[in-house]
Structure 1
Amino acid sequence: MQGLSLSSLKKHPALIPLYVCVAAGGLGAVFYTIRLAVKSPEVTWNRKTNPEPWQEYANKQHKFYSPVRDYSKVECPAPKYTD
């Protein structure tokens, strides 16, 4: 197919922005998935050292964007599940 090799891409330079946009979108999707896996409080990677990871985020901000609110001074409305 034309446009898939470097020599045919030189003949059709209008395809270069298409490849750049598709690559940028793919990298953005991979970056956001990795960010969700690392930063999200719903994901637990090691249960043995922290068996209740949701308690760690009781008074922290875990939203992607929150303009004004300071979560370190707000009382958490969630119930405390302890044994």
Structure 2
Amino acid sequence: MVMQGLTWKSLKKNPSLMPLFFFVGAGSVMALVYVIRLATRHPEVTWTRANKNRPWDAYADNKQYKLWSDTIDYKNLPPIPAPKLD
């Protein structure tokens, strides 16, 4: 037996549940996309096994990793040298 509201027939009887399913589904997808973005694009996460001692050196000096930057065009800025950590 399926719970009420989870089949198309019962969802037609309760149209107020449709926005609930839509927004919960959209929020879940957005959260999943953001976690995948953090795991693949963030400079503190590395998936390579080359250079095990210093994985943070694989990150480029002038690379932008902000989610949203509307005010500054990072392509026109001079590169900032990475700090020496030794």
Answer yes or no: same fold by TM over 0.5.
Answer: yes
Could you give the per-residue CA deviations for residues 13-37 of structure 1, whole angstroms, max 9, x where no partner exists?
A: 1211110111000000001100110
2:78 matched residue in structure 1: 73
Could you give the per-residue CA deviations for residues 11-67 of structure 1, whole angstroms, max 9, x where no partner exists?
A: 11121111011100000000110011011011110122x443423232221122232
1:46 matched residue in structure 2: 48
1:25 matched residue in structure 2: 27
Whichever residue aligns with residue 19 of structure 1, its letter is F
**4+ residue stretches of structure 1 with deviation over 4 A?**
none
Superposition deviation, residue 68 in structure 1: 0.9
Contact 1:41–1:57 (Cα < 8 Å) also in 2: no
Q: Does 1:63 align with 2:66?
A: yes
Structure 1 gap ranges (5+): none
RMSD: 2.2
1:3 matched residue in structure 2: 5
Q: Structure 1-normalised TM-score?
A: 0.75
Identity of aligned residues (%): 47
Structure 2 gap ranges (5+): none
Greater CA drift, 24-33 or 54-63: 54-63
Q: Structure 2-normalised TM-score?
A: 0.73
- Alignment length, in residue pairs? 80
